Structure 1
Amino acid sequence: MKPSLTRAAALLALSLSLAHAATLVGYAELKADTFTSGPPSGAWNGGLRGAPRFSSQPVQGFSGVQFDPSGSGFIFLSDNGFGARNNSADALLRLHRVDLKPGSVSAQRGQVTLKGFIALRDPDRKVPWQIVNEASAERLLTGADFDVEGFAFAPDGTLWVGDEFGPYLLHFSADGRLLEAPVSTPNLPGLPTLRGQAPLIIGHRGSSGTRPEHTLEAYRVAIEAGADFIEPDLVVTKDGVLVARHEPVIAVLSPDGKVQEATTDVAARPEFKDRVRTKTLDGQAITGYWAEDFTLAELKTMRAVERLPQLRGRAYDGRFEVPTLAEVIALVREVEARTGRKVGLYPETKHPTFVAQVAGRDISQLLIDTLKKEHFTDPARVFIQSFEVGNLRALKTRIMPAAGVNLPLVQLVSSPDEAPYDWTAAGDGRKYGALTTDAALRDIATYASGVGAYKRWIIDDQGRTTDFVSRAHRAGLLVHSWTFRNEPTYLLPAYANDPEAEMRQALRAGVDGLFTDFPATGARVVGQYTTPEVRSPQHHAFMQGAGSAEATLAGSGGFEGLALGPDGRSLYGLLEKPVLGDLPGQLRLMRFDLSTRAWALAGRYALESGGEAIGDLTPVNDHEFLVLERDNGSGESARIKRVYLLSLREKNPDGTLKKTLVADLMALRDPQGLAPSTKAGRFGFPYVTIENVLVLDAQTILVANDNNYPATGGRGKDVKDVSEVLWIKLDSPLTLAPGVGR
């Protein structure tokens, strides 16, 4: 960067900082080495127990603050312990009654005075899993049990505490006795599917990214990977049996007779060398071997090969047969009998016009006849799809009614440069774009239940989400999009070779199902959205043997901010980090109704570029809150330590809640020199974790840090972090609800 641009950027940053340079009007600090009564602590290190480092309990810095309900002073919540679960089994969870004096000038420092504490405990055994002090009478809670970060007093006098390990809400009596089992956090936001249902994972030709496509093994692996439906593309044999192959041509030859693409080893079988034919498939002349020129018995002598060997190798070539539709159904039934899991079929009628012209067969009729013969006609377990239009209309109006079945149909919509071949064969020059207008979607809804859309109709080639899904949903149509693959060659550059990012974008767009060659990946991504609970890696279920890979929240990403709304009924919890599957940098603000126990998503908070997490949340009025936001820097590396005013009534264009910067904690004015670290009238607050904010009056707020005892770095490389308390006068007054402040 040119020096002039560097200076310009610095001046811009300075001007923005000064524009929100609120004023320090009070300062006090609590020494890092501050202890209260209690058993020795600090014996654990990385999960191993040694000698205690401390003879009693350190206060450990503060992670939440409220006014003392008694009417005098404040109550601060200590953080969970010594920085990690496996270090904090002897760190007791406590709230401290605190008196604060802000001081007036540098010669008269403010004071922080501890006046006792409330011990959090579970003597009534409300926690349904084992805690550290399981066998004791009081069952004092520790930092290895919960990571407590915010709290609020309800109108009935009880205490609610936000936890990061679950994340949970913990409900205590005023004196710290747990009143009920920890309240889990539901994975509420969901996805904008047509009916709010979980999206389907459709094994595209089975698990075709890991096994040769359209083999029983590919289907079996897809089912084991979590596919809800498996997709057999259907072609017809010489003797009229439906078999699973991607195309009627099972090996394509070049003009000089070399194999260009194949799904069977037919070209290597000398007994079939006279079967090579050139046929016109959807208007294109293709030379090769064709399924309709072989009996089922002949096809059964062949073996499947990988269609994309340059990409996926040949490790499984020659090992699997070409399956019939009946055999695919038998596999599904076998899995159901063995596991109880009901998997559906998603057959595609391949090239109905071609099959009728060349083989003299009605592939749609053959499909319905086979499904009836095999007694597989449950409409909840079958979708029938086609790239053509006429055969779907025939299925809807003639074939299925005559057979006494009614299965959902899906109109496939390919890329804009292609066309339904039955249209082309009839002289209709329209292409697939003609099926994507609002009027066309409404027409599709008269004969089909959904559209199977090429993914570029949903996410364009620039990676932008379109309105296709919402328009299809307005027409009452499901949207099942194709094809999602893990290989980088199929991904847009913006995804940085991350196939899950592409899937997540499609899911956020509202698709009702994904066709994927890698159903294990698809099932994992959908699971991120459909897991009933939000769970961090420290969730108790994982401590009981479940794999923490199922976590949907990064470690220590739970309820960092907790606040009771001025109405006294709504508890607001702001997660510190994004839930897996949400957009990066967006945090969920959850609302919990204390009377009905109902959860709701109050909105999404967007972190600034460079922001890593939030530190606290406190109410201003019924629709505005103050939020602490921070980066992970401390000392000289700290950049973002800020207080924002968050509105629940206003949203940004991306749907996140609007916020306004009210104080830059790295650039506070201190004209009186209240703080010992103030230089030239400027005070900075460069601690990693700033976790306490409280409204004192319309223009004054209280802010304090957690010192992550016994951490260093905020005020110097080798200086222990103290707990500093700031009284800050804002440049503009807040609009307070009655009862907010003191």
Structure 2
Amino acid sequence: MRRGSVVLALMCACGAPAVPPAATLIGRAVLPAATFAAGPPSGAQLGAQPIHGQQAPFASQPVQGFSALLANDDGTYLALADNGYGKLENSADFQLRVYTLRLDPRTPNGGSGAVEVVGYVELRDPDGKIGFPIVQQFSAARVLTGADFDPESMQRGPDGTLWFGDEFGPFLLHTSADGVVLEPPIGLPDLEHPEQELRAPQNPYNEEGAALRLMNAVRWRAAQRGATRPPVVSPYHAMVHAGERGAGRELFDVKSLQAAGFPVVVWTVNDVARMHALMRMGVDGIISDRPDLLLAAARSFDGDGDGVADGIVERGEIDLQGHRGARDLRPENTLPAMEAALDNLVTTLETDVVFTADAVPVLGHDPQIDAKKCRDGGEGPREVRGLTVAELQRRFVCDGLVRGPEQTNDRALSPVAVAFAGAAGLADPYTPPTLAQWLGFVAAYADHYGTGAGAGHPEAALRAANARRVRLSVETKLSPRDGFADEFAARVVDAIVAAGATRRAWVQSFDFRTLLHVQDRAPAIGTVFLFADTTNLHSEGGAASPWLAGLSWPHGVTAATQPLAVQSSGGFEAMALRASPPALLPMLEKPVAGAPAGELWIHEYDLSQRTYTNRRWRHVLGPGSTSVADLQLDAAGRGLVIERDDSEGELGGRKLLRELEFGAPGAIVEARTRADLLAITDPHGLAPAVAGDVGVGAGRFAMPFVTIESLVLLPADRVLVANDNNFPFSVGRHRGEMRPDDQEFVVLQLPPR
């Protein structure tokens, strides 16, 4: 026994029969699966194919997936909607609600068997109590969604406020009766390691769980302004993984981000072996200083040729991005560098821009002109912000060779740049161009190989076709110290719009203020959010970062310093309320790392002192059970839990109500089964047979659902049990037609103890 813990002693039930007497069905009400309430569309990340006959996205909010019930004084019930569609990644447009339901169960004395949805309250955080990014971070109401929390249990405190047990933290979430968050989410202390918490992989206070939440927030903001393209996640290539993390800082889960709808483009990769590794990982794009190697890597990786159409790599397969043009082949951010990238058929041409004294975006990476990169034909300041564009282009030629033996400034290799510079009045092809000139150059390149002097080149058709559709990515080079982010964004947007390139253009930055300004001014332009430890992921203690437009990032808090010991979907599925002394008893659904197999922990949260105590009980799952779904206490302090396996649509599974009793520390013994939810008698025929349905008819009734999650104790040894139908996924009842499960509310008379 661990010091400071109290052990849960279960009733011996000596001499009890091996098979308990069956519970009796005395009431049943059904809410149809396809029941919807007012609200925004939902289910955008469920895919294009129908799921069990249900086509997403849905026009409004599904009334589904109830994971907890509370009885009201007027005969109605509060029903807690689950997090939406089962995952953080697909539930950002599912708004968390507590519905009020009126049940009219079919009973031996009558009843329609219907469920009326009377109304609902939405969980929301208008006062900003939640310190990590939420989906609706940038709204006034800050309505919570299934990508913010996964609420699975609910209790009403003595003061009438609501308490929720969450799985993502796991957290306790405290709201007013009408759903307003009253205090920050409460984490679960690790009693063995007081400086740590027991956390799940989705916990937002670990870096591993931070990127997706931040991206959800900026996508929601962009969508409110009319954006239709999802923002792109662009981390340093060594920071990504696809399910298996190494020993480094692999914080960005490619598969998780993609499942949530975010493309992942990594930077900067110049090694073919690493390019192939990233392609196997499934990234959406790679930024490289060597577009020649990147093109070769893509063509060799795509062994069957499916990703190459007429010699051009399809962006749907992999986005090949030329970093600052082709900076290892030509001096960076110059027209010849862009020409070299286009010669190698990049699908996205990337460049940096800085701001001149007369507010003109020009190509360049550094705030100060680098003497190694640029020859100076005059005297005066070298700060770009101290130069007008005319001064900049008159004084500097940026043809310095600083990147290795493959880099050259031979003008003969850049015929389009030479011709364009002459026509544009530039002194040299390596004169720093403006953003507008860069955009014009891309069009000139397409014309050169389409109908101009280059039309006879062996790859002319490929080059022209690719240049006409190449995407254009503009990185703004500024920091939060610069006070001109809005004006900078405005000038970048103006140049893109004037060139007619809005639909092809993306703006990227480490300074997320710029990207929010772009969203405000031109939502049709895509945004790319760059991440790096050396630039914008260094806020201390999870503080709001100016680099991240005021959003927080828990820098340095990873699984190495704060282990993720709670399993996914292993948080507070169950939570009882004890009346005296008042306390919540949240119960972990699955064993934590290091705990004995099958052992679940019940913690104690003191409602009077507003703190966790050091008291903890343990419950051991019975043979064949995988988790516990609800825990309620009766007036005598006995507990009743729903214990289950993961079967669905089977009558040979394990779905039990088990009784337990809190006592003094002692040995753990097996709980006493009160009812088998797959073997219920139906002497009154309340659930008649339906062709193809499982568990109804012939005087027998069963709840063959993968998730049975709600339990309400009623007088006279009766209980109300309800399933979570996981709409539209679960099919436990209607196996013949493979229709989604309805939400069923079942009243049972328990057998005598």
Q: TM-score normalized by structure 1?
A: 0.47
Rg larger for: 1
